Amino acid sequence: MGISTPTVGEIQYEFSKKVFTELLNNKPKFVDYLNTEKTPLLLMDTEGVKSRYVQIKYHMPDVEVYYAVKANDHPQVIKVLVEVGAGFEVASVRELQEVLSAGASPERIISSNPVKPPEFIDFAYSSGVQRFAVDSFSEIDKIQRIAPRARIYVRITVPNEGSDWPLSRKFGTDPDTALEILDYSRRKGLIPIGITFHVGSQCNNLRNWFIAIKRASLLWNKAKDRGIRLLTLNMGGGIPVRYSYESVKIEDIAYYVKGLLRKYFPVPPYELQIEPGRGIVGDQGLMITKVIGKAERGNEKWLYIDTGVFNGLAEAIGGIRYPFYLESKGELKEWTIGGVSCDSMDVVARNVFLPEPEVGQLLYIPSAGAYTTVYASEFNGFPKPRVICL
């Protein structure tokens, strides 16, 4: 009688099953929709969204939370976050209109995209939004022309290692240039107020926060030596959620970040901010898709579902590894999961262990609340997921 060691596939599938089962235990109201005919469907738990916000505030009571609307802009999601007192981070006229019409106050709205369309700056400033991120001199010139007394915070680059969705390649500047940008904004009549960074989305590497906070504190002190008294430290997004592997918990991030802040900001900034997107909505959604076909290509077993990287699962091509679950028993086999469109880049996942599905069977994808519907198009004529908020 030997002890049998579980295979990689068994471990992977057990984890997905655990994520799915726990999701249903926490969200019994999802159960009524598990046999839906009309797929793809995204179920969102708006009470859960609220609880996530409250949980983050509980662990970081001194930090103002600005929800990054880009993660999921569903009106119900925005509505519950307004009710619970969240601030909002927006990038476009439409996002801003959505949060304003849901009742958010302009003083609780910031814009952290460092390069903004002039129409957006104009609309935001005239609506009462005053705080804008920058990472270039040219953005200062643009803002100064449109919003002459705007408040400016500068984005610095920080390591994004270990973040499944890195963001530092496109935005941010080095601390020396950031200092010059802050100084330039002051000379232009704008009001330099702070520093921002982003450790990368789905960040499971606490070291990124360490380097970021340390780097920000050096810049903060150099600005002070130049007579620029900053008020705001914005620590961006990055809070991870559980996908096909466990993620760092918010309480651990909060504990670590608070320690770093005590060390590197002995005099606390007037306002500490974070702007999570994924960390608030990511694990509050369940995507329900349907298996529409199967094929064997050489040694590879393929299954095809009615969602894909163009109509809901875009992040699958950039490093997000969703868990997958099927209500089936039987031997686990290794699958490549193809999306619904004709495009060959529409591959949702590889090396996924699942029991053999029937065509027509539902495939469940937990942790699909962030960056799914917002990215979706109707490429090839396939619909975006319906969304039901419960």
- Distances 173 to 195, 198, 267, 311, 333 between C-alpha atoms, Å: 11, 12, 25, 33, 46
Contact between 201 and ligand PLP by CB under 6 A: the answer reads yes
Nearer to ligand PLP, 170 or 187 (CB): 170
Nearest distance in Å: CB 102, ligand PLP: 19
Instruction: Pick one of 194, 269, 276, 357: the residue that binds ligand PLP (CB under 6 A).
Output: 276
Nearer to ligand PLP, 48 or 357 (CB): 48
3-state secondary structure of 373: helix
Distance CA 201, CA 171 (A): 13
Distance CA 89, CA 286 (A): 24
Nearest distance in Å: CB 129, ligand PLP: 15
Per-position x/- string for 300-339, each x denoting binding to ligand PLP as judged by CB under 6 A, each - no binding:
----------------------------------------
Distance CA 184, CA 186 (A): 5
Nearest distance in Å: CB 168, ligand PLP: 10
Nearer to ligand PLP, 12 or 208 (CB): 208
Instruction: Return the percent helix, strand and coil in the chain, to nearest 5.
Output: 40, 25, 40
Residue 27's contacts (CB-CB under 8 Å, 6 or more residues apart) are 43, 45, 48, 286, 390
Residue 72's contacts (CB-CB under 8 Å, 6 or more residues apart) are 44, 277, 281, 285, 369, 370, 371, 372, 373, 374
Nearest distance in Å: CB 198, ligand PLP: 5
Per DSSP, the residues of 265-278 read: -SS--SEEEE--SH
Distance CA 329, CA 333 (A): 11
Nearer to ligand PLP, 291 or 320 (CB): 320
Residues in 228-257 at the binding interface with ligand PLP, rule: CB under 6 A? 236-239
Contact between 87 and ligand PLP by CB under 6 A: the answer reads no
Contact between 357 and ligand PLP by CB under 6 A: the answer reads no
Residue sitting closest to ligand PLP (CB): 237
Contact between 143 and ligand PLP by CB under 6 A: the answer reads no
The residue type of 284 is Q
Residues in 36-75 at the binding interface with ligand PLP, rule: CB under 6 A? 68, 70-71
Nearest distance in Å: CB 171, ligand PLP: 7
Q: How many residues bind ligand PLP (CB under 6 A)?
A: 18
DSSP E strand boundaries for 11-159: 41-44, 63-68, 87-89, 109-111, 131-134, 151-155
Per DSSP, the residues of 254-313 read: HHHHHHHHHHH-SS--SEEEE--SHHHHGGGEEEEEEEEEEEEETTEEEEEES--TTTT-
Q: Are strands 232-234 and 300-305 parallel, antiparallel or unpaired?
A: unpaired
Q: Are strands 300-305 and 285-297 parallel, antiparallel or unpaired?
A: antiparallel
Contact between 167 and ligand PLP by CB under 6 A: the answer reads yes
Nearer to ligand PLP, 12 or 157 (CB): 157
Nearer to ligand PLP, 87 or 338 (CB): 87
Nearest distance in Å: CB 173, ligand PLP: 14
Nearer to ligand PLP, 198 or 215 (CB): 198
Contact between 156 and ligand PLP by CB under 6 A: the answer reads no
Which tokens go with 374?
């917002």
Q: Is 295 exposed, middle or buried (CB count within 10 Å of its CB: 0-12, 13-18, 19+)?
A: exposed
Contact between 277 and ligand PLP by CB under 6 A: the answer reads yes
Nearer to ligand PLP, 115 or 228 (CB): 115
Contact between 275 and ligand PLP by CB under 6 A: the answer reads yes
Contact between 278 and ligand PLP by CB under 6 A: the answer reads yes
Nearer to ligand PLP, 89 or 306 (CB): 89
Nearer to ligand PLP, 134 or 179 (CB): 134
Contacts to ligand PLP by CB under 6 A: 68, 70-71, 89, 112-113, 167, 198, 201, 236-239, 275-279
